[in-house]
Structure 1
Amino acid sequence: MAKSRRSRTKAPRTDPIAKPVKTPSDPELAALRESRILPVLKGLKSPDAKSRTAAAAAVANIVTDTKCRKLLLREQVVHTVLTETLTDASIDSRAAGWEILRVLSQEEESDFCVHLFRLDILTAIEHAAKAIIETLTASEPAFAKLLKAQQRLVWDMTSSLISLIGALGVARDEILEAIVKNQTILRFLFRLVATDYMPHEVFEETLSCLMTLSEDCLLLGQALIDDQETRCYDELLKCAAKGGSRGVLACGVLHNMFASLQWLDHSPGKDGACDAVLVPNLCQALEQTAALGTGQPNGHEASDPAQIVQIALEILASIGTDLQNTLEKGNRPQLGAGKPAASEKWDGFGDDTDVMEVDGSDAAEDDDEDKEEEEEEEEDDNEFDNADLERVTGMDEDQSETEGLDDLPTLRELVHKAVPQLIRLANTVVDSDDAIAVQNYALAALNNIAWTVACIEFAGGENDNIFKAWAPAAKKIWTKTITPIIEADNADLKLATQVASLAWAVSRSLNGNTPASESQHRRFIALYQATKGIAVEPAQDGDAAQDPFQGVGIKCIGVLGCLARDPASLNVNREIGIFLMTLLGSPGTSPAELIEALNQVFEIYGDEELACDKEVFWKDGFLRHLEEVLPKLKIVAKGIDKRTAEELRVKADEAVLNLSRFIQYKKKHAPRS
């Protein structure tokens, strides 16, 4: 019988997961690898506990350097940390290991967090979190009796875990779902919120992590309510009421929670909770940080005041946006800018933003489309009346009785408490990067609130109580914020876009009662001309173009249309009307600008009872200009590819149809001489 062959080597088996690493071709990197990287990696695997701890601390220090970090990743440091450092008997080594992963998750792209998730990092986090909870809640020895150095290690590890959990949560939805379904990790976070002896910076990191995880996350919102062990929800409410940086972050978590649970003005949650309870706390925080850079919000806190202000403003901006959902879901149809029911004779639109369905075939059948439009025009020629025009201009007679701000506590708090603070911060002296950022965030919050109100229907006295509450605030926004910035001729395109958008919302909501001077409209004309030809910035992902209707030119046209409405003077109306007609006839006008300009013309000159109809529209020959625009607009509409710009094509087709019918209406209702 043959003998079995004995192994000729006594070398230990190599790690089947580890892969051989090639030496970098760059001499500098090769030298760095030999001098700094390989020694610390060798130390991580040393049999001596002190050497492992020292090596782990060294890696945590050098991993922030880009070159060292890339070399460490090439040498599979993550595998070493996961399999050896995090399981080390020494708490110092484990703390350093978590710090290494924290820094890597911050410095690398989100793919790194996905990689960690696939390596089952949540299980490791779960074990570490459980150990920390046991340490914090132990009675023997009590945490307070531990040495300061031991306590510091626990908090350092806690901080690393929180940061890593937050980074994992934003990397991918499936990771977020796995986190919020992990009861140990949630219990860890909730326990930290309920721990009053935690270092301030770690407490803030915990709140920041929860704010990140809770955005659009129903599971976490429900878990906060269901938690009976630490009563984290109650702790968040207490924290929010105290103000300061902690209060702002707690408000962020609660706002996300209210939004996910649909705790709205008309359907509040526990003890009447909705965003209305958060606005005063956020405004208080803004007051506490009035003097940026001169001190801390509360004397004992270490947070940057400017950063806290920015977070508070972001939350207020989000509340202003989410308030639109409250109005839409609150069974208050009179609050929306009404969209009329379809008519066999006329498929008009309710406001500037509504998209109406236009019959027509594909671009390959344009000739048939023209014939259909001509036939439709002939059929409607004798049926087009004033009711049809009201649909063009967004009128909606089916509105119910108005109600006041008592039914909309969040809007009430925003108008009475937030708007004054936002106006103050929007007028911050921009002498630093922090001040510029604060101004931008304040304008964004004002913009969101103003646009929410601008979507409320005020025509015919509807929602009069809301208008009476909003109008003084809106006029202050115009005089205290919009006017100073627009008069300053600032060259900042981002600022100009923000101000133009805010001006459009405010002027639209005031419906002709904007406190603009007789010459202020020229500033917006000049702004349009100064920014004409500037391409719309691409989306942040770089893959798609931004909405063509969001450019600064569109916003300027919208503002001008609102400033020209009755009771504007005939001189202002004429100047703006001529500008719009020139715009419509210019070959360089973009399709989106053509559409918006026409929408404004419909709004301004849709009522033949107004003085501007006879004195401007007819005396200045605007009808002839519109007739010349119609065939050109048809060509523009047909030139838009439905496959790449579907919304733009739909709105262009809508504009063609509406312009054709508008011309018919004006001919039928020409003034008698």
Structure 2
Amino acid sequence: MRVPDSHLPHGLAQASSTSSKTEAILPIIQKMESADSSERKWACVAVSNLIQNDPSTRRLLQGKNVVGALIARLTDSEEEVVIEAMGSLRNLCIDGGYDICAEMYNKNILVPLKTFIPKISSTLEQFLQTPKSAPENALKVVYEFADNVITALWCLSETSNKALNAINAIRLAPFLMSFLASREQLPIAPIVAAAQCLYVLTDDNDPAINDVRADAGYISCLFDIVRSVHHDMKVNGKAKERDQRSITISVLAAGILRNISPLPPPVAASFVDIDKDIVLPLLQPVITSVSLPDTSNNVQALVSQQASIPQTEKSSLKSTPKFDHKSPIEIELERLESCLRTVQLALEILTGTCATLPDPGLNVDEAESDDNEENDDKEEAEVMEDMDIDMSTINDKSGMEQSETVPLLPPLVPALLALAQPTSLSFPPLASISVHPPTTSALSGIHVSALECLNNIFLSLARVRNTSISSDKEAGQRVWKDVWSALSVVGPEFGMGQERRREMWEISVGVLWGIGNVWKGSLAPDVNEVNLLTQFCNASSDSQTRVKCIGTLECLAQHPDSIDSNRIISEYLLSFLPTGTSSEVGIEPVLQSVSAIIDIYSDEMLPYDVNFRQGRYLNRLASSIDGMKKLVKTIDRRKPGGRVLRLRGEEIRDNLIAFVEYRKNLKL
């Protein structure tokens, strides 16, 4: 949702009290049904004007069935009314999010949308064949209409499985690819919309994936987009609008290629490692191209400047509503938001790549590896000669570290940590709304996506121990401090409209757990951090979040010299021990806590083992065995994930029994 509205109380009465445009709503709805086509057109345009960055008014319009009224206008006898109705529906999709899109789908918006697609295709084909045959104004109208239709389809496809299945049945891939294939002859806006729609449709959606994979021409086109932008892209934050949006298209093309990979063998590009050769070289410069603090400051300055301009044109029902006449300030705000959205998109694509980053510590036979790579290169080169794709510029990493060296990780991690740091505009104030909701939404989205990338990187590193990284204790401490620095700005207060603050904490705890596992034993626990983790764990109702908190505390407890902190953490973990057949804190947190205690005290020679003996932890663990047995029996294998959870529960139960026996035999 571009303009979040979760800070608003539910109910039309509450929305009415927070909107300054209540009186304009009813006349607009009435004029939507007017016999005068100019009034119907006016009403459609007025909707877009009223909802701009105004969730309260959007809710009011929703309550008056503005969606149904606008969908009815898509079959209007006057073409201009249809065009303006489509524009307003598109804006509602973007600003309103899932709820409005679901309402549109339920009110059969796809019926008229399907009829527009062949009309747009035939008109574009005619324009492309004889570009001078149509007046410039007519071209502009068709291109904007195509942009609006495609954007609505993109938003609808993210709404529900029902909507996605219905859109799959339309088979949009050829229609969307036609825009990308003709990108040199078309305006940039509908091309971006087509690429965005195709990116969403190919995200874990086999029908669309198969449609793109089945046509070598489509794959060649996508590679060509990536290649051309990657070759001449100089990201400096001052790119012209066309350049910035061209970068967005290339990012989307890389995302589509990643979505449809592995590419089918008959395609020569199937030899290309999409993550290593496409995604990382292209997207790393994108995520380092923007300074979030600078952008935040620029937006606030522009908003202040805008507020100081006297409002000479007051909105009235008698005046003609503005169409797309935006002030220089509005245009610059949109440009800044577009840059942020491109970075957010790049991070979303990188999230999957970060989970599969090649581990530099794998012990692979060097000679065998070199031989295999040489053979692969020869085979790839032979096929590339016969294919109309110039891969040289894609594989040219121009300033990037080569993949054979270790530091795929070091360049990414600092960039991601920088993007995770909140700015003054990243979240709405606790007691009010943001001065510019779209920018706030984009900034917080970037922070969340950056943390998700970090989460995947450190989980990946924790799975395969890498001594060269884990031995660099200073690096671990720096990363740890940077994550906590971000959390200190987010703060522990959550409320209505502050969902992103909570999300930041939930993902950050996962990042901390990953860092803790990579540098286990070398991170000295801070009392305040331990307290915040335990408080967040207690306050969370989500089992997985509690598991992450417990896992992070487990890592901190294993710092050999922090005896007091070890005792505090252990006492907290022991409070999760099962006493009966059910657990109020959830089965998975209990299992994680028991596993953590076993792991912490598996080496009785460590300095903090004194806590285990003095606190009589052995007796407490022994008395929990019956409760543990009963708890494991309650895990239903038939439920989703139940079989895996039951196996884990049985393993931890057996480990607990063996651990108690082992510690008893030590007689310490």
TM-score normalised by the chain length of structure 1: 0.65
Q: How does 1:140-159 map to 2 (within 5 A)?
A: 140-141=132-133, 146-147=135-136, 149-159=137-147
**Kept after mapping to 2: 8 A contact 1:158/1:202:** yes
Is the Cα–Cα contact under 8 Å of residues 507 and 559 in structure 1 kept in the other structure?
Answer: yes
After superposition, give the CA deviation of every residue in 1:194-214 in whole Å (9 maximum; x if it has no partner). 236615x44443433333223
Question: Of 649, 653, 657, which aligns to 1:656?
Answer: 653
Q: Per-residue CA shift, 1:360-407, capped at 9, x if unaligned? A: xxxxxxxxxxxxxxxxxxxxxxxxxxxxxxxxxxxxxxx987999999
Summarize the alignment of residues 380-459 of structure 1 with structure 2, pairs less than 5 Å apart.
Answer: 409=403, 415-433=409-427, 434=440, 436-456=444-464, 458=465
- State how far apart, in whole Å, the 2-side matches of 1:465 and 1:278 are: 26
Aligned partners of 2:410 and 2:368: how far apart in 1?
14
1:320 maps to which of 342, 351, 356: 351
Q: State the AA in 2 paired with 1:424.
A: A
Stretches of structure 2 lacking an aligned partner (at least 5 in a row): 1-22, 51-57, 236-243, 300-328, 374-401, 428-439, 495-501
Query: What is the match of residue 282 of structure 2?
Result: 281
Q: CA deviation at 1:131?
A: 0.8
Question: 2: distance between equivalents of 1:276 and 1:230?
Answer: 15
Tell me how far apart the structure 2 counterparts of residues 449 and 405 of structure 1 sit (CA, whole Å).
24
Alpha-carbon distance, 1:597 to partner: 1.4
In the alignment, residue 448 of structure 1 is paired with which amino acid?
N
* CA drift at 1:159: 1.9
Match of 1:507 in 2: 516
Aligned-residue Cα RMSD (Å) equals 4.6
Q: What is the correspondence of 1:65-464 to structure 2 with a 5 Å cutoff? A: 78-79=71-72, 81-82=74-75, 84-85=76-77, 92=80, 95-96=83-84, 98-99=86-87, 101-102=89-90, 108-113=100-105, 115-116=107-108, 119=111, 121-141=113-133, 146-147=135-136, 149-171=137-159, 172-180=163-171, 183=174, 185-191=175-181, 194-195=183-184, 198-199=187-188, 201-217=189-205, 220=208, 223=212, 226-227=216-217, 231-239=221-229, 242=233, 243=235, 244=244, 246-262=246-262, 269=270, 271-275=272-276, 277-290=278-291, 291-293=294-296, 303-305=334-336, 308-309=339-340, 311-313=342-344, 315-324=346-355, 409=403, 415-433=409-427, 434=440, 436-456=444-464, 458=465, 463-464=466-467
Deviation of 1:664 after TM superposition, in Å, equals: 1.9
Distance between the aligned counterparts of 2:172 and 2:634, measured in 1? Answer: 51
Alpha-carbon shift at residue 662 of structure 1 (Å):
1.7
Say if 1:130 and 1:188, in contact at 8 Å, map to a contact too.
Answer: no
- Which residue matches 1:480? 482
> 1:465 Cα deviation (Å)?
5.5
CA contact (8 A) 2:223 2:253 kept: no
* Structure 1 counterpart of 2:588, from 586, 592, 600: 592
Residue 559 of structure 1 is matched in structure 2 by: 552
CA distance in 2, matches of 1:665, 1:72: 69
Please say if residues 585 and 629 of structure 1, whose CA atoms lie closer than 8 Å, have aligned partners that are also in contact.
yes
Residue of structure 2 equivalent to 1:17: none
Q: Is the 8 A contact 2:32 2:69 kept in 1?
A: no
Deviations 1:21-52 (A, max 9, x none): xxxxxxxxxx9999665665353xxxxxxx64
SS in 2 for 1:584: coil
How far does residue 616 in structure 1 lie from its aligned partner after superposition? 4.4
Taking the aligned partners of 2:484 and 2:30, their CA distance within structure 1 comes to 60
The structure 1 residue matched to 2:618, chosen from 609, 613, 623, is: 623
1:508 is displaced (CA, Å) by 0.4
User: What's the CA shift string for 1:308-327, capped at 9, x where partnerless?
Assistant: 33552454355334544677
| 1:335-382 deviation per Cα after TM superposition (whole angstroms, max 9, x unaligned) | 7xxxxxxxxxxxxxxxxxxxxxxxxxxxxxxxxxxxxxxxxxxxxxxx
Q: Distance in 2 between matches of 1:501 and 1:318?
A: 19
Q: Which amino acid aligns with 1:178?
A: A
| Sequence identity (%) | 16
Q: 1:593 is aligned with what amino acid?
A: P
- 1: CA distance, partners of 2:490 / 2:110: 54
What is the rounded CA distance, in whole Å, between the counterparts of 2:261 and 2:109 in structure 1? 28
- Which structure has the larger Rg over C-alpha atoms? 1
Report the secondary structure of 1:512's partner residue: coil
CA separation of 1:455/1:415 partners in 2, compared to 1, >3 Å: closer, same or farther? same
Structure 1 residue runs without a partner (length 5+):
1-30, 44-50, 336-398, 537-545
Q: CA–CA distance in 1 between the matches of 2:342 and 2:485?
A: 26
Structure with more relative contact order (C-alpha pairs < 8 Å, separation 6 or more): 2
Counterpart-to-counterpart distance in 2, 1:206 and 1:411: 37
Distance 2:103 2:273 in 1: 41
